[in-house]
Structure 1
């Protein structure tokens, strides 16, 4: 049976908060995808997850790597538990689809990308906001050149996360487990989407702070100015201290039109008076429930990853594209810490 005829085999590592949309998406793809095993150290949590989604439990990670029917490993662990898992999967010749961020620091993320390159396996990074219908429509407009040159960018991520039940969780919002606060854990989605549409940022000037609404090690508020490599300028604000939380908004002002993505909706206001809208009614996870969003964005990304493996091409969202947002976040944090303009690593 050819690779195109049989179901694509996936093994899952991790069943925490971020696993639900993956599980729902994989169940929706059962005709073409087979979850051949799930592994987590906590056996009780593993049993509950597998029973809820009708997946088989694996006795250990090595059994997933030894299974010839598994094409890829889906890793949904905290970022501090990634490197050794990815290294073992790559050695076993398994492709890797992994939750954002790649790792806690840019240096550690680069090491993971390099080891997958050296092993010749695909590395996909989950940035599901790229796969919304509105995001794909705007990407097509940008690629066509019809919008003209980009001039200005405005990004706002006005989210809320409570202290109780969220930041009180062990390790949440720490450098050791998460690698940082609102930037690398929440706003990274919107920043990645922004970069996929604008191209790289060359320099930033930022303010990073922790408000009195949270007791946490890292930042829950960031505001900054951005200078883009293509000459555009922009501003961004990201927070988890905006109760009760709202939809993120990205506005791109081009020579021929202004484009605004709000949650899953796109509005194009053309300079000649035309207006276009593309949208879907949905939540985005901006409030107290981080998982309050549809699973179809994950489904679309999983489908792209499988197609990339079978067509031997990079996934749309991969380790190399993820490095752009890692470098931007590192520069924003450094600028906030040093109180000065910082160049973004090219």
Structure 2
């Protein structure tokens, strides 16, 4: 049976103490009106204790005992931020004990593993939310509102650009950029955020023709460059390019060209260029921007996702990004990889995201 939130503040456990953990802890610290961080689970609890510096509240327990979290009725929610290679086992333990799971992307290392994770949670009757924090950026929310209004007309062309830079030290971390630990390179680790956001605005892709490569700028197993032509089910065409070998590091940009206007969407603002000559800028972030590819951005976006998930569990509704919705992003990445290997176009079934 799924756990219930029985107190004013939901007890939360953070599973994993890697690079992204401090962002989660800072987000949980600022969300203390609705959550209480009870436990941080790590293979090396003593090494994880530095994370308490990012939490301005009662110091959480530090433990390596996942079963204790699963068995605790006062911890109905777990944030899972472990490497993809060990997530299925962690999720199985938590879900079977009724713990609801907010999962760092990706769902799994490949579409089959991703579907298994979704099915595990569905069979257990627990909620599975995916931390695609780009979806709660103000420009993304504004773009979704305009697309839903219908005033833009028919979508004709899509551009998805993820021009990132990662130094070799990023890939020197054990397992980073490998298929065994991460499931791939730039697409599944970095660009999946922009892929998920774009698909939430455009609908699914039906066909791709692609090429991927590992440039001489990195020593790694998987790809640090991917490019694809896209055909969408709605009839639009598009392009996708992503890399961690593009110096200097720049922000991701999605451009959507509709019948009556074009949208330029990045993390700083939404720009709307109407065909009649009007130009509007909405949801502009006026704070100074410092691009640091290793800090992961502001923790406020993680905080918004956490607060949404807690509300979804409390009121028995769907979270902003469900596990089943996130499967479409995995299907597209797999199709790009398949097209690159074969040199031929690849079709994605219309049942994209459904169990095959």
TM-score by length of 2: 0.93
Cross-structure match for 1:48: 50
Instruction: Tell me if structure 2 keeps the 8 A contact 1:208–1:219.
Output: yes
Structure 2 distance, partners of 1:206, 1:269, is 29
Structure 1 distance, partners of 2:291, 2:135, is 16
Choose from 224, 227, 231 the match for 1:223: 227
Choose from 89, 98, 101 the match for 1:84: 89
Structure 1 distance, partners of 2:23, 2:93, is 25
Cross-structure match for 1:151: 156
Offset at 1:61? 0.9
Instruction: Tell me if structure 2 keeps the 8 A contact 1:284–1:292.
Output: no
The runs of at least 4 consecutive aligned structure 1 residues that moved more than 3 Å come to 2-5, 281-287
Offset at 1:290? 2.3
Instruction: Tell me if structure 2 keeps the 8 A contact 1:38–1:50.
Output: no
Cross-structure match for 2:266: 262
Cross-structure match for 1:290: 294
Specify the SS of the correspondent of 2:332: helix
Cross-structure match for 1:191: 195
Offset at 1:104? 0.2
- Tell whether 2:19 aligns with 1:17: yes
Structure 2 distance, partners of 1:128, 1:52, is 19
Cross-structure match for 1:121: 126
Structure 2 distance, partners of 1:137, 1:246, is 22
Choose from 31, 34, 37 the match for 2:33: 31
Map 1:70-109 → 2, pairs under 5 A? 70-109=75-114
Instruction: Tell me if structure 2 keeps the 8 A contact 1:263–1:282.
Output: no
Offset at 1:56? 2.5
Cross-structure match for 1:320: 324
Mark the CA change 1:309 to 1:132 in structure 2 (over 3 Å): closer, same or farther.
same
Cross-structure match for 1:61: 66
Offset at 1:262? 2.1
Q: What's the CA shift string for 1:258-304, capped at 9, x where partnerless?
A: 000123311011122222212215699975x3224111111111111
TM-score by length of 1: 0.95
Mark the CA change 1:242 to 1:284 in structure 2 (over 3 Å): closer, same or farther.
farther
Instruction: Tell me if structure 2 keeps the 8 A contact 1:149–1:254.
Output: yes
Report how many aligned residue pairs link the two structures: 343
Structure 2: gaps of 5 or more residues:
none
Q: What's the CA shift string for 1:55-100, capped at 9, x where partnerless?
A: 3223511111121111111100010010011011111101000100
CA RMSD of aligned residues (A): 1.7
Q: Which is worse superposed, 255-264 or 169-178? A: 255-264
Q: What's the CA shift string for 1:117-146, capped at 9, x where partnerless?
A: 111100011100001001001001111111
Instruction: Tell me if structure 1 keeps the 8 A contact 2:129–2:321.
Output: yes
Structure 2 distance, partners of 1:261, 1:203, is 24
Structure 2 distance, partners of 1:207, 1:114, is 31
Instruction: Tell me if structure 2 keeps the 8 A contact 1:36–1:55.
Output: yes
Instruction: Tell me if structure 1 keeps the 8 A contact 2:160–2:253.
Output: yes
Offset at 1:191? 0.5
Q: Which is worse superposed, 260-269 or 4-13? A: 4-13
Structure 1 distance, partners of 2:291, 2:332, is 22
